[in-house]
Amino acid sequence: MSNEYFPGIDTIKYEGPDTDNHLAFCYYDENKEVAGKTMKDHFRFAIAYWHSFCGDGSDPFGIGTHNFPWDKTSDPVENAKYRLDAAFEFFTKLGTPYYCFHDRDLAPEGDSIEESEKILQSLVSKAKEYQEDTGVKLLWGTANLFTHPRYMNGAATNPDFEVVCHAAAQVKAALDATVELGGENYVFWGGREGYMKLLNTLMKKEQDHLGEFLRKARDYGRSIGFEGNFLIEPKPMEPTKHQYDFDSATVIGFLQEQDLIDDFKLNIEANHATLASHSFAHDLTVAAERGLLGSIDANRGDNQNGWDTDYFPTNLYDAVEAMIVLLENGGIEPGGFNFDAKIRRNSTDPEDLFHAHIGGMDTFARGLIIADKIMNDADFKKIRYGRYASFDEGNGKKFENGELSLEELRNLAAKSGEPKTISGKQELLENIVNRYI
């Protein structure tokens, strides 16, 4: 490293729950095995380049408050190189194995497509060297198709074909960058792919354009050797009033309709699920049960605010529920847990970025340990799976196998009379969860 951007902060180590060192992990012990795998392999934690190294704390009411030491010059390309330096210092001090970026986080846009491609390429070469030196890897890359004013009416769903072409140029370059850096996934979050008003929107046409755009992106990605998963990240609203990738269920239907289901999976973000009036665990489950859980954007919303706050995840109950889904799913690889979360506008000390990530990693590590205990609890297993025992044999099994007609079902009901009253045992299950927390 040519410079130190986080002076006075050493590598963050696991010290256990009794430590009084706030720059240490209490629960995240990367080599600790839980449910047959190390914590490092369970989570595959990643840092979001945009929040941690580009988000300056500005909000609609005020300019940025985070004065980045890597913004050293008036040349944005030079600063992007210093930023890369700072980012890899942070990754290695924190000990996270992965990072994620948008094209425009890594490299500023130039005055033409050619110039933008050249700038990105130069930063990618540098990032590649850093990856080789440190062993930090790219979990996923993506293209920012929402910040530039040209995308104000959408990118792939823009009513103007010329804008669609610009979006394609960006995705092509971002795919090239991702492949060159060995990225294990490639993400599409539908930035402004949605609408504000139906009066000026042909919804089906726009969605078909999105499908065609994604098929061509997939084909290009495969043609340059990308073997990872393409991921769609659902979100119900913000920035448009109605985003097309509303939630897991909506995206799965879209993937099926658009013939994308074999190459695409989902990147589930906690705060996006809650904006869709689901729990994080719900949207994870919808994706996981169809074999489509690709990766996770870890963060949380706010019970009182109805927008995408991108808080760092600290809610242990949510983490436990999420980890139960993850354990049942057999893990998340080749996806991971990307902290798509930002420190607050008034969190202005360099060490705040460490506290935020340490807290998030410890929350999930603790959630994993607890979820594993819950799933091995005999009563928990008996109640959760035992509820469906009537389908394990006999006529229940025949029904699952498609061997009973509606008339036969009717006749069985007539023969057996009114079913017994069977409790769902919700309170008991909640108590079991609390016992381990």
Q: How many residues bind ligand XUL (CB under 6 A)?
A: 10
Of the residues 103, 105, 245, 297, only one is catalytic, namely 105
Contact call for residue 300 and ligand XUL (CB under 6 A): no
Check 42, 51, 102, 278 and give the catalytic one: 102
The residue length of the chain stands at 437
CA distance 227 to 198: 38
Q: Which is nearer to Co ion, 29 or 294 (CB)?
A: 294
Question: Closest distance between ligand XUL and the C-beta of residue 51, in Å?
Answer: 8
Residue-wise over 16-32: b if at least 16 C-beta within 10 A, else e?
A: eeeeeeebbbbbbbbeb
Q: Does 283 bind Co ion (CB under 5 A)?
A: no
- Token code pair at residue 67: 């004065």
- How far is 71 from 138, CA to CA, in rounded Å? 23
The structure tokens listed for 393 are 């044999």
Footprint (CB under 6 A) of ligand XUL, residues 137-176: 142
HSE on the CB side for 142, CA within 13 Å?
23
The secondary structure of the chain in percent helix, strand, coil, rounded to multiples of 5, reads 50, 15, 40
CB contact at 8 A, 431 and 383 = no
- Of the pair 117, 297, the CB lying nearest Co ion is at 297
CB of 9 to Co ion, least distance (A): 26
The residue from 176, 206, 308, 321 that contacts ligand XUL (CB under 6 A) is 308
Question: What tokens were used for 70?
Answer: 């890597």
Look at residues 13, 8, 25 and name the one whose alpha carbon lies nearest to residue 359: 25
362 contact choice in Co ion, ligand XUL, none (CB below 5 to 8 Å, kind-dependent): none
Nearer to ligand XUL, 102 or 265 (CB): 102
235 sits near ligand XUL (criterion: CB under 6 A): yes
Q: Is 105 one of the catalytic residues? A: yes
Element spanning 136, H or E: none
* Interacting span for Co ion (CB under 5 A) from 125-133, 164-172, 257-265, 336-344: 336-344
Q: Assess contact for 281 and 328: CB atoms under 8 A.
A: no
Instruction: Answer for the pair 100, 139: CB distance below 8 angstroms, yes or no.
Output: yes
> Which tokens belong to 57?
């704390």
Binding-site member from 28, 189, 195, 337 for ligand XUL (CB under 6 A): 189
Out of 269, 283, 318, 321, the only residue in the binding site for ligand XUL (CB under 6 A) is 269
List the single partner that 318 binds among ligand XUL, Co ion, none, CB under 5 to 8 Å by kind: none
CB of 38 to ligand XUL, least distance (A): 26
Q: Which of 117, 233, 283, 321 binds ligand XUL (CB under 6 A)?
A: 233
Contact assessment for residue 95 and residue 30, using Cβ atoms and an 8 Å cutoff: yes
The reply on whether position 340 binds ligand XUL by CB under 6 A is: yes
Which residue's CB comes closest to ligand XUL? Answer: 189
In whole angstroms, how close is the CB of 110 to ligand XUL at the nearest point? 21
Stretch touching Co ion by CB under 5 A, among 174-182, 244-252, 340-348, 389-397? 340-348
Do 320 and 437 contact (CB within 8 A), yes or no?
yes
Dihedral sign computed on CA atoms, order 214, 220, 223, 229: negative
CB of 214 to ligand XUL, least distance (A): 15
C-alpha–C-alpha distance, residues 134 and 209, integer Å: 41
Nearest approach, Cβ of 391 to ligand XUL (angstroms)? 38
Between 68 and 107, how does the x/- string for binding to ligand XUL read (CB under 6 A)? ----------------------------------x-----
The reply to whether 117 sits near ligand XUL by the rule CB under 6 A is no
Which residue among 89, 176, 308, 340 contacts Co ion (CB under 5 A)? 340
Check: CB of residue 299 under 8 Å from CB of residue 270.
yes
The helix/strand/coil state of 413 is helix
One DSSP character per residue, 291-317 reads T-EEEEE--B-BTTB-S---BPP--HH
Residues near Co ion (CB under 5 A) are 269, 297, 340
Residues near ligand XUL (CB under 6 A) are 102, 142, 187, 189, 233, 235, 269, 297, 308, 340
Report, as residue numbers or ranges, the catalytic residues: 102, 105
